[in-house]
C-alpha cells in the first residue's frame, strides 16, 4: 500500500477538528447511578486522555450502537460494542445502577444487554486510556471489563484466552455477526474460520498457526505492536503480526474485517510522530491470510465471496467479489449474497436442440474448486467445450493441462488468481447476452489473422531495426504495433501487484542468514527462505552479484523490477519482492519445489513424454506472454533448461526473465554472461545484428529438441560425430525421414510419432539462422497445439550471413 505525504491543508483541518472531539467531558470515575441516553450522538464517557469513549453511536438511520471508539480519530472508529446484533432506538439508556449493574435498556425499558457481572461490590466504572471499559470495586480490582468480551477488534494490552473469539461484522456498515471469525480454540489452536452463517458454528479454517495442538494459551497484543500466541508457561509460540510500530506514536488495532481478513491497522497520533510518512488515516500494516481468495476452500459454503461469484485480490490487496460474465449480483448492495444467472438456464428436456443457443465466455486463471460433478483426463479443449455444451447441468467447464472439469450451479469457492492457471469456460445463452456474439470458429480465424499480422510487422520491424538501430541491443516493439495487437490475456495485468520491498534484515531472517543454497547462476546465488506470520510461505531469495549492482541507479532498478513484478502468467515464476539497500540487491521469488528442468531431462529420472509435451507448451506460452502480452516487451535472453523451473504439479515456470535488461548498460558483460550458456545462443549475438525476441525463439528451439530427445544439445562423449550436436542431427534425421531415431528408446514417444515429428519441425523452424524466418512465440504455441499447420522447414543453416 502506498503511503503518501499528507497534504498540509488536511493536517491543518485535522488539528482544527480534533479539539471538537476532545471537548467532551472526561470522566475518570463513573459513579453508580449515572446513565447515558441515546440521542444525537452526544452521550459518551471519555477516557482521561480523551483517546477512547464509551457511549452511543448512531449507525446510519438504523439505530444506535452502545460502543467504545477511538475518540480522536475523525471517523470515531468503533472497537467494541454491546448490541451489535440488536441496534436500539433513540431514547434507549445505558445505566450503571446503584447496585452496580451495567444495563442497556431500549426506549420502552426492555433490557437489551447487561454486563453480566458479579454486580456485588462494584463501586464505579471507568473508561480507561487503553480502550478498556471496566467495572471495579472500592479497591479498584476489576470485576468486569470489555476487553474480556471482544467483538471484532483487539487493542494493545488486550489479551484473548482459550475459547475467545472475534467475529467479523456483516458488512462495512452493518455491525451484526458476519461470516468470519478469529478464534483461539479451547484445544489451543489459533484459527481463522468461515462461520456457518447465520449460525455461529465454524465451517472452513483458512488460516491457522502451526503449533502443536493444545499448546496455544493466550493471544497477546503488546505495547510494541506485536500480536503473538503464547503458551501457558509464557513462551512465545507464534507471531500473528510482528511489525513493530510503537503505541506511543500510533493508535493500533487488530480487526477481523467483514471480508474475512484479519488486519493490523495503525493511525498516527499526530503528523510529526510519523515523520510525515503515514497518512492521517487507518493504514493496514499487516494482514492474514495473504490471499483469502485462494485460501478458503470448503466442501460446504460459498468461499470468500457468495455463491456463483468469484474473489480476486484488488490492487489494494483487498479481496473483491465479482460476477462471471453472464451473471449479475443478486443484491448489488450486498455482494456477499452472490450472483445469479442473467439468462434462462438450459432446458434439460431439449438439451440436444438447445446446444446451439449457448456459447462460452473465457476467463483465464479462474476456478471454482471442489464442486465438480464430472472430470475427464487427457482431452482437448474442444472436447471439453462440447461436453459442457451438451450437458444441461454444466454451467462452467474448467480446462487445464488436458483436464476438463464440469461444474454445476451454485458455483462455490470462486477465485481468480494467476496461481490457478487454466481456463474457465462460462456457459451462457447467446440470445440475450450483452456483448458481441462470436462463435468459437470465428474467434480462431481472427486470432490467426492477428498472428499473421504480427509476423509481418515483426519482419518489417526487424528490417527497420537492421538499418537504423544496428547497435541497439534491446529493441522494443513500437507503441504503434502494440496498439494494433490484441492481447487476449491483458486483463491479467490488472491482477498483478507491484513487488514488495524488503529490508536486507528481513531477508536475512527469512533465509536464516543465507543458510540453504538452492543454486547459483549468471546473476547470483539463490537461497531458500520462508516468509509470513504463518512461516509457511517458502520463497527463493536471489542475491544479485556485482555485475548487476554496479550498473543501474536505484530508480531504474526499481522500475525495472516493477515491470517484472507486473507480469502475471502461470508459466512464469512470480517475483514477490526485492531488497535494494546500497550494495545489497536481492530478489524474492516464489519457491519452486521441483527445481529446474535440467535435472529431469539429463539426470537419471526422466520425465515421461506426456509431461515433456506439457512443459514444451508451458514454456512456449510463457515466452509468448513475455514477448507479446506484457505492457513492456520482455526478452529473456537466456532460455535454457536451468532457467525453467517446475512447480509442485510439474508445470513449467520460466525464471530469471527481465534480468538481462538490468545488465544493459554494460554490454560486454552481457556478452560474457550470455556466452556462458553456449548452445542456446542465437547466431545474431555473435554478429552485429539487433537483438530481438527472436533470440528467445532460437533458444526455445534448442530446448524443444532437448525436451524431445532428453539429451543435451552438445554431447562430447558420443562416438559418432554427426550425433554430437543435437540441432544438426535432428535436422539430418528429419531430412532423411528418420525422426524416430531421435526417440528410439522412448516407448511412449515412439507411439506418438506424429506429434514427435511435428515438434521436431517446429524446433527446426525456431533454430533458423535467419531470425526473420523464425516464427514468433505466439505462432510457435499455435503450431505446437496443432491449431495451425506446420510447413516444411528449410535447412536452418541456409541463411547467408550479411555481416
Ligand X SMILES: *[C@@H]1O[C@H](CO)[C@@H](O)[C@H](O)[C@H]1NC(C)=O
Q: How far is the CB of 47 from ligand X (least distance, A)?
A: 11
Residue 561: half-sphere exposure toward Cβ, Cα within 13 Å: 25
| C-beta closer to ligand X: residue 179 or 477 | 179
Name the DSSP letter for residue 642: G
CA-to-CA separations, 518 to 477, 528, 549, 611, in angstroms, rounded = 35, 6, 21, 24
Residues belonging to the binding site are 543
User: Least separation, in Å, of the C-beta of 307 and ligand X?
Assistant: 15
391 contacts 360 by C-beta, under 8 angstroms? no
**Distance in angstroms between the alpha carbons of the first and the last residue of the chain:** 51
537: its cell numbers: 510461505
Task: Name the residue nearer to ligand X (CB basis): 272 or 350.
Answer: 272
Nearer to ligand X, 85 or 452 (CB): 85
- Provide, rounded to whole angstroms, the least separation between the CB of residue 239 and ligand X: 7
Q: Which one-letter DSSP state was computed for residue 520?
A: E
Q: Which residues of 198-226 are buried (b: 16+ CB within 10 A; e: fewer)?
A: eeeebbbbbbbbeeeeebbbbbbbeeebb
**What phi and psi, each to the nearest 5 degrees, are found at residue 678?**
-55, 150
The contacts of residue 235 (CB under 8 Å, 6+ apart) are none
Handedness of CA 693, 696, 701, 702 (dihedral sign): positive
CA distance 249 to 529: 32
Q: Which is nearer to ligand X, 208 or 613 (CB)?
A: 208
Number of continuous H segments (helices) and E segments (strands) in the chain: 19, 43
- Residue 638 annotated among the catalytic residues of the structure: yes
Least Cβ distance, residue 544 to ligand X (angstroms): 31
Closest contact distance (angstroms) between CB of 19 and ligand X is 11
Instruction: Pick between residue 258 and residue 415 the one whose CB is nearest to ligand X.
Output: 258
Q: DSSP character for 512? A: T
Question: Do residues 692 and 469 touch, judged by C-beta distance below 8 A?
Answer: no
Coil, strand or helix at 22: helix
The residues near 661 (Cβ < 8 Å, ≥ 6 apart) are: 474, 560, 634, 635
Residue 277: Cβ within 10 Å count: 11
Pick from 757, 581, 556: nearest CA to 665: 556
DSSP state string for 59-92: ETTTEEEEEEEESSSTT--EEEES-TTS-B-TT-
**240: enclosing H helix or E strand:** strand 236-242
Binding interface with ligand X (CB under 6 A):
28-29, 62, 87, 123-124, 138, 140, 170, 174, 176, 215, 222-224, 226, 228, 231, 233, 235-236, 249, 269-270, 272-273, 342-344, 432, 434
Collapse the DSSP code of 259 into the 3-class scheme (helix H, G, I; strand E, B; otherwise coil) and give the result.
Answer: coil
Give the shortest CB-16-to-ligand X separation in angstroms.
Answer: 14
Beta sheet of 111-114, edge-to-edge order: 35-37, 93-96, 102-105, 111-114
H or E segment and range at residue 14: helix 8-22
Grid cell of 539 as nine digits: 520463497
Other Cβ atoms within 10 Å of 380 Cβ, number: 12
- CB neighbourhood size of 347 (10 A): 11
Rounded CA separation 424/293 (Å): 16
Q: Which is nearer to ligand X, 126 or 695 (CB)?
A: 126
Question: CA-to-CA distance for 510 and 288, rounded, in angstroms?
Answer: 18
- Greatest Cα-to-Cα distance within the chain, rounded to the nearest angstrom: 104
Nearest to 590 by CA among 671, 643, 647: 647
CB 176 → ligand X: shortest distance, Å?
5
Which of the 8 DSSP states describes residue 485?
S
Of residues 128, 151, 140, the one with CA closest to residue 49: 128
Q: In angstroms, what is the minimal distance from the CB of 700 to ligand X?
A: 43
Annotated binding site for ATP: 543
Residue with Cβ nearer ligand X (139 or 745): 139
For residue 188, what are the CA distances in angstroms to 251, 382, 536?
A: 29, 51, 19
Closest CB to ligand X among residues 171, 551: 171
User: Which of these, 56, 85, 41, lies nearest to 177 by C-alpha position?
Assistant: 85
From 638, 647, 656, 770, the catalytic residue = 638
CB closer to ligand X, 125 vs 496: 125
Asked if the bond preceding 219 is cis, omega within 30° of 0, the reply is: no
29 or 58, CB closer to ligand X? 29
Residue 425 Cβ, how far from ligand X at the closest point, in Å? Answer: 19
CB of 343 to ligand X, least distance (A): 5
Give min distance, CB of 326 to ligand X, in A: 8
Q: Which alpha helices (H) appear in 165-290, and where do they start and end?
A: none
Give Cβ neighbours of residue 314 (< 8 Å, ≥ 6 apart). 320
Q: Is the distance from CB of 544 to CB of 585 less than 8 angstroms? A: yes
Least gap, CB of 36 to ligand X (angstroms): 19
Residue number with CB closer to ligand X (392 or 635): 392
Q: Which is nearer to ligand X, 325 or 493 (CB)?
A: 325
Catalytic residues: 638
Amino acid at each position: 500500500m502506498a503511503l503518501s505525504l499528507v497534504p498540509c491543508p488536511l493536517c491543518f483541518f485535522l488539528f482544527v477538528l480534533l479539539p471538537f472531539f476532545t471537548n467532551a467531558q472526561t470522566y475518570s470515575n463513573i459513579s453508580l447511578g449515572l446513565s447515558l441516553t441515546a440521542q444525537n450522538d452526544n452521550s459518551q464517557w471519555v477516557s482521561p486522555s480523551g483517546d477512547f469513549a464509551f457511549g452511543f453511536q448512531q449507525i446510519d438511520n438504523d439505530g444506535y450502537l452502545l460502543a467504545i471508539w477511538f475518540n480522536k480519530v475523525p471517523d470515531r472508529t468503533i472497537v467494541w460494542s454491546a448490541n451489535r446484533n440488536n441496534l436500539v432506538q433513540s431514547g434507549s439508556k445505558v445505566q450503571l445502577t446503584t447496585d452496580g449493574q451495567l444495563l442497556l435498556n431500549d426506549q420502552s425499558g426492555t433490557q437489551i444487554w447487561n454486563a453480566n457481572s458479579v454486580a456485588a461490590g462494584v463501586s464505579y466504572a471507568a473508561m480507561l486510556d487503553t480502550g478498556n471499559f471496566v467495572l471495579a470495586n472500592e479497591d479498584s480490582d476489576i470485576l468486569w471489563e470489555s476487553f474480556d468480551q471482544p467483538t471484532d477488534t483487539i487493542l494493545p494490552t488486550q489479551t484473548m484466552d482459550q475459547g475467545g473469539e472475534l467475529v467479523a461484522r456483516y458488512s462495512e456498515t452493518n455491525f451484526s455477526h458476519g461470516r468470519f471469525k478469529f478464534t483461539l480454540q479451547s484445544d489451543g489452536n489459533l484459527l481463522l474460520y468461515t462461520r456457518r452463517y447465520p449460525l455461529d458454528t465454524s465451517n472452513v479454517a483458512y488460516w491457522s498457526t502451526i503449533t502443536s495442538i493444545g499448546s496455544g494459551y493466550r493471544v497477546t497484543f503488546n505495547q510494541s505492536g506485536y500480536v503473538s500466541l503464547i503458551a501457558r508457561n509464557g513462551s512465545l509460540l507464534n507471531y500473528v503480526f510482528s511489525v513493530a510500530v510503537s503505541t506511543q506514536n500510533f493508535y493500533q488495532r487488530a480487526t477481523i474485517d467483514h471480508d474475512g481478513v484479519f488486519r493490523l491497522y495503525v493511525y498516527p497520533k499526530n503528523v510529526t510522530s510519523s515523520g510525515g510518512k503515514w497518512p492521517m488515516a487507518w493504514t493496514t500494516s499487516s494482514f492474514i491470510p495473504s490471499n483469502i481468495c485462494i485460501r478458503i476452500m470448503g466442501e460446504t459454503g460459498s468461499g470468500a465471496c457468495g455463491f456463483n461469484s468469484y474473489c480476486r485480490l484488488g490492487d489494494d490487496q483487498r479481496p473483491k467479489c465479482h460476477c462471471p460474465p453472464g451473471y449479475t449480483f443478486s443484491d448489488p448492495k450486498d455482494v456477499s449474497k452472490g450472483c445469479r444467472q442473467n439468462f434462462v438456464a438450459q432446458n434439460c428436456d431439449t438439451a440436444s436442440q438447445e446446444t446451439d443457443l449457448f456459447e462460452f465466455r473465457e476467463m483465464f486463471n479462474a476456478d471454482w474448486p471442489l464442486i465438480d460433478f464430472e472430470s475427464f483426463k487427457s482431452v482437448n479443449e474442444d472436447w471439453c467445450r462440447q461436453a459442457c455444451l451438451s450437458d444441461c447441468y454444466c454451467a462452467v467447464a474448467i480446462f487445464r493441462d488436458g483436464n476438463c472439469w464440469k461444474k454445476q450451479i451454485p458455483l462455490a469457492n470462486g477465485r481468480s488468481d494467476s496461481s490457478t492457471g487454466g481456463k474457465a469456460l462460462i456457459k451462457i445463452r447467446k440470445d440475450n447476452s450483452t456483448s458481441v456474439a462470436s462463435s468459437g470458429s470465428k474467434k480462431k480465424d481472427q486470432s490467426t489473422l492477428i498472428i499473421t499480422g504480427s509476423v509481418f510487422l515483426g519482419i518489417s520491424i526487424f528490417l527497420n531495426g537492421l538499418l537504423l538501430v544496428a547497435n541497439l541491443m534491446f529493441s522494443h516493439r513500437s507503441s504503434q504495433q502494440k496498439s494494433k495487437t490484441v492481447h487476449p490475456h491483458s486483463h491479467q495485468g490488472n491482477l498483478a501487484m507491484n513487488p514488495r520491498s524488503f529490508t536486507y534484515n528481513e531477508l536475512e531472517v527469512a533465509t536464516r542468514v543465507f543458510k540453504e543454497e538452492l543454486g547459483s547462476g549468471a546473476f547470483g546465488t539463490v537461497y531458500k527462505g520462508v516468509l509470513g506470520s504463518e512461516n509457511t510461505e517458502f520463497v527463493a531469495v536471489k542475491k544479485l552479484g556485482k555485475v548487476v549492482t554496479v550498473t543501474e541507479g536505484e530508480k531504474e532498478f526499481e522500475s525495472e523490477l516493477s515491470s517484472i513484478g507486473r507480469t502475471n502468467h502461470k508459466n512464469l515464476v512470480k517475483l514477490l519482492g526485492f531488497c535494494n539497500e546500497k550494495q545489497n540487491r536481492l530478489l524474492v521469488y516464489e519457491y519452486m519445489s521441483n527445481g529446474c528442468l535440467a535435472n529431469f531431462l539429463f539426470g537419471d529420472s526422466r520425465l515421461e513424454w506426456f509431461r515433456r509435451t506439457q512443459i514444451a507448451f508451458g514454456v512456449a506460452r510463457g515466452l509468448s506472454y513475455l514477448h507479446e502480452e506484457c505492457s513492456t516487451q520482455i526478452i529473456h535472453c537466456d532460455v535454457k533448461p536451468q532457467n525453467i523451473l517446475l512447480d509442485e504439479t510439474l508445470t513449467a515456470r520460466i525464471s530469471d526473465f527481465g534480468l538481462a535488461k538490468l545488465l544493459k548498460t554494460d554490454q560486454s558483460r552481457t556478452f560474457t554472461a550470455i556466452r556462458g550458456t553456449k548452445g542456446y545462443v542465437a547466431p545474431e549475438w555473435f554478429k552485429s545484428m539487433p537483438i530481438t525476441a527472436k533470440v528467445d525463439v532460437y533458444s526455445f528451439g534448442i530446448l524443444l529438441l532437448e525436451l524431445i530427445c532428453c539429451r543435451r544439445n552438445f554431447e562430447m562423449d558420443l562416438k559418432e560425430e554427426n550425433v554430437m550436436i543435437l540441432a544438426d542431427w535432428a535436422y539430418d534425421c528429419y531430412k532423411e525421414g528418420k525422426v524416430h531415431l531421435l526417440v528410439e528408446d522412448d516407448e511412449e514417444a515412439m507411439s506418438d510419432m506424429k506429434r514427435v515429428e511435428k515438434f521436431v519441425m517446429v524446433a527446426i523452424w525456431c533454430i533458423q539462422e535467419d531470425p526473420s524466418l523464425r516464427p514468433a512465440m505466439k505462432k510457435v504455441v499455435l503450431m505446437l497445439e496443432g491449431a495451425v499447420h506446420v510447413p516444411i522447414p528449410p535447412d536452418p543453416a541456409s541463411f547467408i550471413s550479411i555481416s
